[in-house]
Amino acid sequence: MTLAKLEKATQMLIEAKSLDEVKHVIDIAEAAKTYARAAKLGLDAQNHAAEIAILARRKAGEFLAQLDRATPQTARIMSNVGHDSEYSETLQDAEISRQDANRWQQVAAVPEETFKDFIERTKADGKELTTNGVLKIAKQIQRKENIEEQIEEIQSNKFQPPSGLFDVIVIDPPWPYGTKYDPNGRRAANPYPEMSLSEIKAIKLPASKDCILWLWTTHKFMRHSFDILDVWGFRDVAIVTWVKDRMGLGSWLRSQSEFCIMAVKGSPVVNLTNQTTIINGAMREHSRKPEEFYQFVDSLCVGYKLDWFSRQQREGWVSFGNDTEKFNE
């Protein structure tokens, strides 16, 4: 009986012309998956139902993407402040949350060949089919596209160094780990184009004659960091250790810390009170530094501040890089 319902749902999905019809197929498939699990019919039965549900979400995502693109920009803005656009009304009428709508559009955005390959590979490997699995593929594709856009922007030199001089500079160079971004590879691979050590040394920092520099580094590049500071004309005075709330990866030991070298040029002014060489802060997205660090620097340093290779706009700072909106709240 369950198999018959799924065959009927498959035909309904093929013939579906509206979002409501597709959503009905999702409900049938999810109910069949739940029953297959409870009745212990096996993974193949569960995946059969799950595949239909995912295909239905993919089709719903296509419907929603078309409607979303058709919604005028003014209506998008209005819907964010409480006025309903056609897109918002459609979601409300179909009882679909914005989160689900966004997820389904991501599923629909996965190229057909990649989508089919994922479905077949998952079933062949004896693994459970889930929408989250498809969403992971979608995220990998989006990240790869973002990397390609950044590389193109850097190569075309569309962004220029900031003008003027700065009294405080934070820099987090894209160190050459040799782990070119691979969406199916190491989680530790850089999410942005790397630079060679010689390229990092060649950076011309817009530092005032009395400047404090904060250079982020890791165990692997600690010894190279001091050489780079010499080339840049700074002398190291302290090393701040960021103690993370959980451990990450590591070739020898699992890393749970990161380092920022405090270096100076000339005689900069510091507001030293009770600051120490330890910062405790949660580990978030790859390469994202803790808010506690910027609070720490703001408490110590005065003057014009520059965040080089920044990935977030910050009040009181000039943000420089090719991805300065990445982590904006």
pLDDT value of residue 134: 93
Integer angstrom CA distances of residue 177 from 50, 145, 193: 39, 21, 11
pLDDT value of residue 81: 41
Band the pLDDT of 180: cuts 50, 70, 90: low
How buried is 253 (Cβ within 10 angstroms: 0-12 exposed, 13-18 middle, 19+ buried)?
A: exposed
**47 CB-near residues (< 8 Å, 6+ apart):** 122, 123, 128, 129
Across 98-112, 141-155, 184-198, least confident range: 184-198
| pLDDT top residue among 244 and 160 | 244
pLDDT value of residue 251: 76
Query: Please, what are the domains in the chain?
Result: 2-145 (no CATH), 166-320 (3.40.50.150)
Across 50-59, 137-146, 294-303, least confident range: 137-146
> Bridge-partner residues for 320, per DSSP?
308
**Is the pLDDT at 243 greater than 80, yes or no?**
yes
Q: What is the mean pLDDT of residues 105-126?
A: 93
Band the pLDDT of 104: cuts 50, 70, 90: very high
> How confident is the prediction for the chain on average, in pLDDT?
83
Model confidence pLDDT, tens digit, residues 245-299: 888 877 788 888 999 999 999 999 788 888 999 999 888 776 788 899 999 999 9
pLDDT value of residue 128: 93
In angstroms, the CA 2 to CA 292 distance is 55
Band the pLDDT of 224: cuts 50, 70, 90: very high
Q: Which tokens in the block code for residue 225? A: 């960091």
Inter-residue contact 30 to 64 (CB < 8 Å): no
In angstroms, the CA 248 to CA 244 distance is 9
pLDDT value of residue 287: 72
pTM as predicted? 0.54
pLDDT value of residue 283: 83
Band the pLDDT of 192: cuts 50, 70, 90: low
Phi–psi pair at 126, nearest 5 degrees: 70, 30
The residue type found at 284 is R
pLDDT value of residue 245: 87
In angstroms, the CA 77 to CA 133 distance is 32
User: How many other CB atoms are found less than 10 A from the CB of residue 99?
Assistant: 8
Q: What is the mean pLDDT of residues 46-65?
A: 91
**Is the pLDDT at 153 greater than 90, yes or no?**
no
Strand 235-244 and strand 257-265: the pairing is antiparallel
Inter-residue contact 276 to 293 (CB < 8 Å): no
